[in-house]
Chain A
Amino acid sequence: MSEIKLNKISRDYGQGIFGVHDVSLEIETGEFMVLLGPSGCGKSTTLRMIAGLEETTSGEISIAGRDVTRLAPRERNVAVVFQSYALYPHMSVRENMRFGMKMRKTPLDEQDARIARAAEVLGLQPYLDRKPAALSGGQRQRVALGRAIVREPDVFLMDEPLSNLDAKLRGEMRQELVRLHRRVGKTTVFVTHDHVEAMTMGDRICIMRNGCIEQVGAPLEVYARPRNTFVAQFLAAPAMNLVPATLTAAAGAVTLSAGPIVGPLPAREAALYAPAAGRALLFGLRAEDILTQPRPGAQPFSAVVTALEALGPENLIVVEAEGQALSARVDRHFLPRIGAEVTLHADLAHMHLFDAASGDALARET
């Protein structure tokens, strides 16, 4: 058992500045929890508070049922993988891995066995006697991981460990980390500001903003049902399109008016959103839900193409209509000229509606 419970924890820097404010979160044993959010939202602070490297000014932290709020980092049995790796520059790779075990007085033969095992898993055997300065970024990253693994801690805490790697290596390490997590099965908190990492790696993701949690849930669930416009926009690139909108209900039909997108809602959405008629709303639609072909329930509209990015497997286009810019993710064979007028189809079966003032999502069943 090595669940982590954060109970209303805050980090108060004084003068009303909070790094983290009243955060409560329960991370289950063996779970891979991703903390996601923009720069400065308090991800690192939260992680460092769990590790004991940052003071918890109020609230409680417990790991494996033990209140660790006031314990020193070394008494918490957590291993941290830092964004900067923080390898000990004066020690060889082997000594780097050995350090934590030495501190904990692990028997020497056990130390050697664990180092050998970790080196094999991470492909570090050829580098064991090198100093960190003589390693590439990816190799250093593996050493940082290895140093954490050999400790066999209750909990892994990782602060953007992949952010220093190039795109290819990052993709490989992402999979390697997930594999490793499956094998070791340790509770892991993984900080990132990359939504792809969050979506692909997390059992659950926790989206933060301004020191507070915005939403916690399984990746696809959060993607499908963002609780507010911040989550909706943060969890994808391009961000979800948001257009000021109103609904009018008349004679059993509910009509949407969102910039260029005007038309009746499909039956299911109509029933769901009818109570919001007349309110100031934001209509949200993901880029992949703007289609180039008609589909039942999709509302056609015309717009002018203002930008096109051919990514290879697909194209991203930006179109403009009635002063609204919309991004669409379209087939790679759809290559309109810039300035051309095109007809697109807004798939209302996947629409989102948010309150214009608060940004909160209107209730949605599916």
Chain B
Amino acid sequence: MRRALSHLGLILAVVIVIFPILWVFRTSLVPPQESYSTTILPSVTLDNYRALFAEKNFGRNYLNSLIVAILSVVVTMPLAAMTGYAFARFRTGGGLARFATLASQMLPPVALALPTFMLFRGLGLTNSLTGLTIVYAAINLPFLTWILMGFFEAIPEDLEGAAMTDGATRWGAFWRVVLPVAAPGIMAAGVLGFILSWNEFLFALILGGSNTATVPVALASLQTSNGVQISNVAAGVSLAILPLMIAAKFIQKYLVEGLSFGSVK
């Protein structure tokens, strides 16, 4: 009985959390004139999605977002892995380097937006995906370094000791033992970095033009002076959530795997 009650409570909580998302999804599937009606599904249509791609160039935005988010993680990951490892094992840079890494996360992004814009305009990097990728890589680097440092610290040093007495160099021990063991953590960190970049709005808006607009920028631009085009927004949001849902699934898997070095002890 108590179990049933607590399950009921949990189900209620879940409904409260996902209801807005479900409603957005519902809105994306009904004709614009039904958007604000309370009928759950008056009629189902894919016109909103079609319009989004045909009239708003959403495919381009989606591709931009994917390119920038994936590239920024791919560029950052090796650097973050090596920096995080150095922090974790050799205390490189001491407390100061760690503090600086963390402190960079505290800075409000707006404070960096204008200087970055000036700098990038001078370098001709505004209005380009390269510029955006560089910014996202820079944002991801301290974040991923911090996360990976935690993962590396969780790997017992004896593992490397074993590899090195077994005949590996320091680098060999890192490459053949530490990296594979940390792989789930690295994947999880990569997914987090991807999400961070995927959702980023401020820099994408300031540094980008219409060709480089990412999904968040495109969605914002649907709020025109003629009102919010709610059915298009709903369709766009539904699509924008898709990679996040896949990412969340991955993270769950990797975090569980990554945090159980059960075989070491």
Contacts and interface: CB of A to CB of B under 8 A. Distances in A.
Contacts of A140: 263
Contacts of B263: 87, 89, 131-133, 135, 140
B163 interface: yes
A85 interface: yes
B209 interface: no
A80 B163 CA distance: 10
Interface residues of B, number: 23
B165 A73 contact: yes
Interface stretch (B55-63, B136-144, B167-175, B247-255): B167-175
A360 B117 CA distance: 77
A52 to B, nearest CB: 7
Interface in A133-183: 133, 135, 140, 147, 151, 164
A51 interface: yes
A72 B158 CA distance: 15
Interface string A120-136: 00000000000111010
B162 interface: yes
A72 B156 CA distance: 20
Interface string B134-163: 000000000000000000000010110111
Interface in A227-276: none
B186 to A, nearest CB: 13
B158 A86 contact: yes
A164 B164 contact: no
A82 B167 contact: no
Nearest to A144: B162
Nearest to B166: A100
B265 interface: yes
A348 interface: no
A103 to B, nearest CB: 3
A82 B158 contact: yes
A151 B159 CA distance: 17
Nearest to A153: B165
B180 interface: yes
Contacts of A74: 164-169
Interface string A76-89: 10111011111111
A164 B163 CA distance: 21
Contacts of A100: 165-167
Interface string A82-102: 111111111000000001100
**Residue of B164, B172, B262 ringed by the most chain A CB atoms within 10 A:** B164
A88 B167 contact: no
Contacts of A147: 162, 166
B264 A72 contact: no
A80 B157 CA distance: 13
A73 B161 contact: yes
Contact of B180 (A79, A90, A135): A90
Nearest to B161: A53
B237 interface: no
B261 interface: yes
A164 B264 CA distance: 12
B67 interface: no
B43 to A, nearest CB: 53
Contacts of A132: 263-264
A48 B161 CA distance: 9
Given A52-B164, A131-B263, A133-B262, 12 more contacts: A53-B161, A72-B169, A74-B165, A79-B166, A80-B162, A82-B161, A100-B165, A100-B167, A103-B166, A104-B167, A132-B263, A132-B264
10 contacts: A51-B161, A51-B165, A52-B164, A76-B165, A80-B161, A82-B162, A84-B265, A90-B177, A132-B263, A147-B166
